[in-house]
Each structure stands twice: as C-alpha cells, then as structure tokens.
Amino acid sequence: MRSICFYFQVHQPFRLRTYRFFDIGKDHNYFDDYNNQAIMRRVADKCYLPMNNLLLNLINEYGTAFKVSFSISGTALDQFEQYTPDVLESFKKLAETGCVEFLTETYSHSLSSLKNKEEFVKQVESHKKKIEELFGVKPKTFRNTELIYSDGIGEMVAEMGFKTMLTEGAKHVLGWKSPNFIYCNAINPKLKLLLKNFRISDDIAFRFSQQSWDEWPLTTEKFVGWLNQIDPAQEVVNLFMDYETFGEHQWVETGIFEFMKNLPRMVFERTNFTFNTPQEVSENLQPVSAIHVPYPISWADEERDLTAWLGNDLQDEAFDSLYSIYEKVKYCDDEQIRRDWKYLQTSDHFYYMCTKWFSDGDVHKYFNPYGTPYEAFINFMNILSDFIIRVDKCSESKEINLEKIKEKAAKLSSEIGK
Amino acid sequence: MKVLMFGWEFPPHITGGLGTACFGLTKGLTKHGTEIIFVVPKAYGDENQESVNLVNASDITVDYEDTTYQEYWNRITYMEIGSNLIPYVGPEEFKHIVEQNEIDSIEKEKSVLSKKFTFSGKYGKDLMDEVSRYALISSAVAANSSFDVIHAHDWLTYPAGIAAKSVSGKPLVVHLHATEFDRSGENINQSVYDIERKGMEEADKVITVSNLTRKLVIEKYGIDPKKIVTVHNAVEPIINKGSSGEKKNVNEKIVSFVGRITFQKGPEYFIEAAKKILDVDNSVRFVMAGSGDMLNKMISRVAHLRIAKNFHFAGFLKGDDVNKMFLMSDVFVMPSVSEPFGIVPLEAMRSNVPVVISKQSGVSEILIHALKVDFWDIDALADSIYGLLHYNALSKVFRKFGKEEVDNLKWENAAVKVNDVYRSVI
C-alpha cells in the first residue's frame, strides 16, 4: 500500500490592536476585534467554507477511500466560536464522516516547546481537550507549531503519550534520505515521524499560480504523473500545507479548487496510491531509521529553521520578556489574565518582528498588520508591559491572601495550644 | 515700530521649535506696541493671528511679464543652486518626499515662474525652488507695504529678507534659531551654509538664540562679532488646567525624552543611561517620544540591551499629548549633542518636571535649576536622573524653583531686547 497523506493547517492569531504607551496601566483590551472578525469572515467565505464543502462532497463520493487531516489552532477555534460559528459547524460535519483526523498542537499556536516544558505540556493538554469537546474524538497525532521539531521536543511529545508526530522533511536534516518513509525519534524510537515532502507540497501551496515557474500550470494530470515517477519502494507522500492555500494564498481563479476536486479521481484511476490519515500511516508502516535533529527545524522559509520567529534582538527580547513572567502567571487564576497569556504567546506576534525580508518577504507580509518589524515590537512590548503590571497585581494579592491565611493558621494553632 | 517679518512656519503647523519661537516672540513684541506683518509660505487659516497680520505667500499672484518682477527675479537668481537637498526634514515627511519626488520633478520648472504658486510650506525636495519663489513674492510684499525694519527667521527666509531689503532699502535683522552645523554635524550642505552666511553678511544685525550659537557664527561663518546679539528664547506660560488632572497609570517613576530621534538630539545617550539605571533599579520606566531617522536603530538597541520591558517608545506626539507626557514624567532629559537653544526643557519645567540637560545646549546658559551634564558622559547622566528620582529633597527644590525660573522667562522680556536691536539699526 502506498499513501498520500494530506494535512492542512488552520490557524488565525488574535491580532493586537494599536496599543500606545499612554494605554499602559489603563486599558487592558489588547486585541483588534474589528480586524480579527473581518479577516475571519473573509477567510471563512473565501477558503474555509467552500473548501470544507468540497472535501465533504469528495468524502461522500468516494466513501472511506478519501481521507484528510487537520490541525486547527486553539486561537482559530476560539475565533470560529466568536465570529464564524458556521465554519465550526462545517468542520463538525467533516468530523462526523470519520474520514478526517484532527491533530493536536499547542493551544495558542505558540513557541512554548522551545522555552518552557511545563507550559508546553499544559497547552497541548488544553488543546487536546478542546478538540475532543468539539469533534468528539481523542487526537492521537501531534504536530508542533510551524512543524518545529528537534530530538528534545520529540522526546517530550513521546513522553506525553503520542505515538506519531509530524515535521518538516528538511533537506539539511535528511541529506540523501527520502521524506517518503516513516522515521522515528532519535531519543525515543517509539515516536514515529511523518516528514513533509516539501517539494511536492510547496508545488501546490506556493507555486501553483506562479507563472514564472517552468511547470506552470500545474494540472491534476501532471501532478499524478509526478506521483507515478516516485520510486515504487517509497511508501508515503506527505502533503502538508496551510489550509488557507485554498482560496486565500491561491485564489479561486487560479483553479486550485478544481485541482483538488479532480485529484482523488485521477489518483484512483492512474496510480496505486490511497489517501490515508497520519494515524493510519503510522499504524501501517514501520520506521526505516531514526533521524537526528539536534537543533530545531521548522517548515518556514528557505532555511527551515527558527529565524522567522526568533533570533534578532527584537524577537529575543520580546520572547524572553514574555516567558520571564511564567512563574507568576502560573499562580494567577484570573480568567482574563489566563486568556491573554495564551493569546500573547501566539507565534505570529514574533513573526511580525522578523527582519529578514529577502526571499520570503512576500509570505511574511501576508496578513501582517504592521508596516515594519519595529512597529510590531513596540506595540507588543507596550501590551506586554501592561500585562506584566496586571500579573504583578494578581500575584501580589495572592501573596497577601497567603499571608492572611498563614496568620489565621498561626492564630488558630496558638488558640488550640491554649 | 512696524516690522516685516519672514518665517517658514507658524503654529499650529510646526515641525519643531522654530514656529513656536516665532509665535512667542511676535506675541511679546505686540505687548510692547510693535506691529508685525508676518509672511509665511503657506497659511492654513487656523493660525492664531492675535499678534500678527499673517500674509500667505501662496495667495499672492505675480505677473512675470511685469518688468519690475523680472528685476526682482534677477536679484534673486544668484541663489539658484542645486535642488537636490533635503535639509531639516520633519521625520513624518521624509517618506512623503521620497514618494512625491518622482511625480513632481517635471512640474516645478514652470510652476516657480507661474502666476500663482502654491507653497507646500514644508521642508521637501523642492525647498530651493520654494525658497526662491518665496523671496520673489517677498520683494512684492516689501514694495507694497510700509515698515521700518525687516526680520528674517532662519536661512529659508534669508533670501526673502535680502530681497526685501534691496527693494525697500530698509534695515535687515536675521535671526538664527539653528545653523547648518546643528542640523548636519560636520557634513554640512554647502548651499545652505552659503545662504546662511550671505544672509548674515547682508544683515545689519544678527540675533542668535544663545551665546553658543553666537560663538559658532563668529568662528564658522566669520561674521563680525559686533553685529551679533544674543537673545535667549522664552516659553509661553501654560494655562493651568489643574496640572494633576492627568494621572499616571503606572506605579513606576517615568523618565522621558521628547524630541526628534536624530543624531543632533543624542537619543543613544539616553538609552545607555537608562540601561545603567535599570541595572540597579527596575522600578523606573523610560519613554522616548518622537520619531526620526535613528528611531529603528534605537529600538534595536533597546531590544539588544534587553530593557524593553521598562523602555517605551511613544511615537511622535502632537499638541496635547506632549503636555500629557510631561504631566506623567518625573524627570525630563535632553541629552542633545548640539542644540542652539532647546525650548522643550522649558516646557517640561513649566509643567513642574525637573530636567537634566546637556551642557551642549543653548538653554543651559540661562537655566539655573536644571542638572547639566556633558552629553557624552553617560555616568553623569545616569547619576543625575537617579538622583532626581530618588532624592526627594532634590527633586522638590528643582520642581519649585524650576517652575518659578521658567515662569520668569517671558517672551515680553526677550522682545525688549529684540526691540533694542531694531532701534539700533533704524
């Protein structure tokens, strides 16, 4: 059996409003509700709803032969609930077919795996819970924010009980090896790894409508031809991409929907591939070897590393400042603070502070609310400053309460002593 | 006494201290009975005209066929120089200028000599054309009005002043609020320098805003010291709306910097001093308000030093926000590398904020109740800020006497000196 494994990433951050220095200590509303709602509505109408509908029709047409998987970030789910409940309904319909696997990630699409294990585990658990609540299935496969992976992260994921994880088939990690096999974690071989075939995936996600590309236009026939050229010994082709590819990155006019609509039929007619979910692939196949990833990789940019989010002074300062208050936030039970803490961790905030504009500038500009990385930094730090004040207040009142309780206890015990 | 005065900007349409100073001075002069015709390249209609008769150069039509205008024009063309300079540019405008340049370049040739010319009144690429045209119109104004003396503020209006003098034969006073060396350091724009020097040479008297500037004019421009008089700036008294009205939202003490974020203002010394203080005391917040060509570099520096949690950038503040900033501040800092005068610390003191200023600013010549340090001496700067933050006795004294001191710096008093200058040339 040879498998095509589709995984679509669905994510929307809670974008921040313009937050001025004068707001610090005064105004605790950080999010740009108007824009968040408007963007969500637009993407829902251009991508989520039509594409969900298309997939549902394909599943109805081919029964269990056609399967896909999704990872939907917690911030996207929260925004569905707030702004576009119709999208959530359509995902639920997909879930009911049983042909769709929902993966687990960090709730707020955060970079916590790189910084704080405790917070990472917490976020994964809360996302798992949310998926189960909404779609009625327990997620078994893990994918980290932006497919970020290292041996250490894989080990943590295995520890949490996951058997399968998705990541990038980065060239500098694989070398001569093919991404079209199952691999396993170098520390804990029980964790199986599915690697993105980035060439074919990006042919769809990035190059589909690019007229300067020598393979343009990409037809279903041509694509299936490429699948047939893959060495028959190779077992799985992992097509991982942003769900917004359909209708947003690639507009409907490019024919991307037609491409997907025709793909299953062509695959069934002309190849020996089937469509499977990551969990099925992981159950059916054995790893061919372990891969060694001492330094984290991701699916972003040419470098497939972390430099889109971390590494320049702006990003590091913002990131370190945010996690420096973890110990205090941990003991805050204020619901608003807990919510803002989650939303502030979303990786997009750091992505906007990226200063490498070269080959990936276009993707970076997409949906970017800021003119420059510097503006992004100032805005984030202003908000973070206010957030820190709130957290400090909260933990102070905790301490005072604790003092009072201690006093009471001392009093009581002395009374008992009498 | 009637004065024909040339200025490039007038409140509320200002980019820096020049417009504020012109406004204050005219108000002071009016109190002493001096009448003023004030010519600006572009009036917006909402200027405060209580003290001046404001003439909008954009409103004046010129028939170039008329031979008298040709004569004026011939006198002005000596300063037709390279046009590709962007001096003095307000940070906000820099972007627009770059964008507009390409579109505008063809149009301007004819427009300078057209019947009516709309001035941008800004500091754009076509500045030299605007300056020439402004001078041409000024000759027309000078020929058709009666006055006793001509007063021109900063180099942009010097050609106008010279033209007006040659048309009317009346004495010319030029006022230096900033020199090319203050704006550009040692890499001066020669055309601007030439206009500045020519203006001072043609003038009957030169007014500088500080002795620092006076010295610079003597040394770098070779102007006869006898011609130069220093008249320090003053500050308009604040209409007190209960200064405790704006409450601070944070518990920490606030140290602020308000000004263009350019080399001249020394923003980097403020940041380095902030780092030194935050290393020992993180219950302070620093705020840098303003924008300019060094802003991004400064943001990177703050991030690099890992002090962004306590160091904020407030952007370019307008109108009321500046006062709001002062009301929130516990210490105000102006570490200028080169500052002919520097009116902002006076505004801070007026709002009861103690100030630390650099010895390299003109304003340090007249202030007693301000801590003065060399701009490059980061340790001294940090020390002064820390002292004002932590030793209440010190800050109390500075607040009280500083306020008194500033309230006594009246434009009326400056105007007396300017009137003396007028009388000496008539």
Which stretches within B305-410 are classed as H helix?
320-328, 344-350, 378-390, 392-407
Find the mean pLDDT for residues A284-307: 93
pLDDT at B52: 80
Residue B355 has pLDDT above 90, yes or no: yes
Closest CA to A332 of A273, A399, A286: A399
User: Which strands sit side by side in the sheet containing A141-143, from one edge to the other?
Assistant: A141-143, A164-168, A192-196, A183-185, A289-291
Whole-number Å distance between alpha carbons of B209 and A108: 57
Report the residue of chain A nearest B322, measured CA to CA: A22
Same domain, A17 and A166: yes
Q: A146 catalytic, yes or no?
A: yes
pLDDT score of B76: 57
The pLDDT assigned to A365 comes to 59
Identify the band that residue A187 occupies on the pLDDT scale cut at 50, 70 and 90.
Answer: very high
Cα separation, B167 vs B176, in Å, equals 23
What digits encode the pLDDT tens for the residues B313-322? 999 888 788 8
Q: Which amino acid appears at position B381 of this protein?
A: L
How many domains are there within chain A? Answer: 2
Domain identity same for A29 and A105:
yes
B17 vs A326, residue with greater confidence: A326
Domain final residue, candidates A261, A291, A321: A291
How many Å lie between the alpha carbon of B304 and the closest alpha carbon of chain A?
A: 5
Answer yes or no: do B314 and A318 touch at CB < 8 A: no
Residue A335 and residue A210 share a domain: no
A300 located within any domain: no
Contact B321 A22 (CB under 8 A): yes
- Look at residue B106 in the predicted model and tell me its pLDDT: 43
The Cα of A145 is separated from the nearest Cα of chain B by a number of Å equal to 25
Mean pLDDT of A369-398: 91
Predicted pLDDT at B93: 57
Q: Please report which confidence band the pLDDT of residue B241 belongs to, taking 50, 70 and 90 as the band edges.
A: low
- A320 and A268 both lie in a single domain: no
Decide if A304 is inside a domain: no
Residue A35 in this model has a pLDDT that exceeds 70: yes
Residue B114 has what pLDDT? 58
Q: What is the pLDDT of residue A362?
A: 56
Q: What is the pLDDT of residue B85?
A: 41
Give chain B's domains with CATH numbers. Answer: 2-234+411-425 (3.40.50.2000), 253-407 (3.40.50.2000)
- In the predicted model, what is the mean pLDDT of residues A313-321? 95
Residue B88: pLDDT band with limits 50, 70, 90 = low
Verify that A79 and A138 share a domain, yes or no.
yes
Q: Higher pLDDT residue, A374 or B115?
A: A374
Catalytic residue among A105, A119, A146, A248: A146
Residue B367 and residue B388 in contact, taking contact as beta carbons nearer than 8 Å: no
Domain for residue A369, yes or no?
Answer: yes
Residue A215, domain member (yes or no): yes
Structure tokens at A35: 């824009």
The arithmetic mean of pLDDT across residues B78-98, rounded, is 48
**Is the CB of B249 less than 8 angstroms away from the CB of A25?**
yes
Clarify whether residues A344 and A260 are in a common domain: no
Å from A313 to nearest chain B CA?
A: 5
Domain hosting A370: range is 313-417
Nearest to B351 by CA among B265, B266, B252, B235: B235
Q: What is the pLDDT of residue B215?
A: 95
Same domain? A191 vs A228? yes
Res. B50: pLDDT tops 90:
no
Residue B265: what residue type?
Answer: K
pLDDT tens, position by position, B136-181: 888 888 888 899 999 999 999 999 999 999 889 999 999 999 999 8
Which 3 state secondary structure label does DSSP give B137? helix
| Residue A44 Ramachandran class (φ > 0 left, ψ -120 to 50 alpha, else beta) | alpha
User: Helix H segments across B282-343?
Assistant: 295-304, 320-328
Kindly tell me if the per-residue pLDDT of B109 is higher than 70.
no
**Separation between Cα atoms, residue A163 and residue A157, nearest integer Å:** 8
In this predicted structure, what is the pLDDT of residue B139? 85
> Of A257, A291, A325, which one is at a domain's C-terminal end?
A291
Nearest by CB: A314 against B287, B289, B300: B300
pLDDT at A104: 97
Tell me the C-alpha distance between B70 and B113, whole Å: 10
* pLDDT band at residue B122 using 50, 70 and 90 as cut-offs: low
Residue A41 has pLDDT above 70, yes or no: yes
A378 with B250: Cβ contact below 8 A: no
CA A353 to chain centre: 19
Beta bridge pairs of residue B56:
B40
Question: Does A378 touch chain B if contact means CB atoms closer than 8 Å?
Answer: yes
Alpha-carbon distance A409 to B27, whole Å? 71
**Does residue A274 sit within a domain?**
yes
Instruction: Go through B313-345 and write b for each residue having 16 or more CB atoms within 10 A of its CB, e for each that does not.
Output: bbbbbeeebbbbbbbbbbbbbbbbbbbbbbbbb
Query: What was the pLDDT predicted at A12?
Result: 96
Torsion-angle region of B88 (φ positive above 0: left; ψ -120 to 50: alpha; else: beta): left
The residues that bridge with A9 in the sheet, in sequence order, are A71, A242
> In angstroms, what separates the C-alpha of A24 from chain B's closest C-alpha?
7
A396 in contact with B, Cβ within 8 Å: no
Does residue A320 belong to the interface with chain B, where contact is any CB pair within 8 Å? Answer: yes
* A191, A328, A388, B200, B358 from A337: Cα distances, Å: 35, 11, 10, 63, 43
pLDDT at B79: 44
Q: Give yes or no for residue A170 having a pLDDT over 70.
A: yes
Widest CA span of chain A, in angstroms?
Answer: 91
Mean pLDDT of chain A: 93
Is the domain of A375 the same as that of A270? no
From A26, A312, A317, residue closest to B306, measured CB to CB: A317
A412 falls within a domain: yes
Q: Which of B309, B312, B324 is closest, CB to CB, to A388?
A: B309
Which residue has tokens 């929260």?
A: A78
SS3 A316: helix
pLDDT cut 70: percent of chain A above it:
97
The question of ipTM being above 0.90 is answered as no
pLDDT in tens, A67-123: 999 999 999 999 999 999 999 999 999 999 999 999 999 999 999 999 999 999 999
Mean pLDDT of A338-360: 86
* Nearest chain A alpha carbon to B287: A21
* Contact call for A374 and B295, based on CB within 8 A: yes
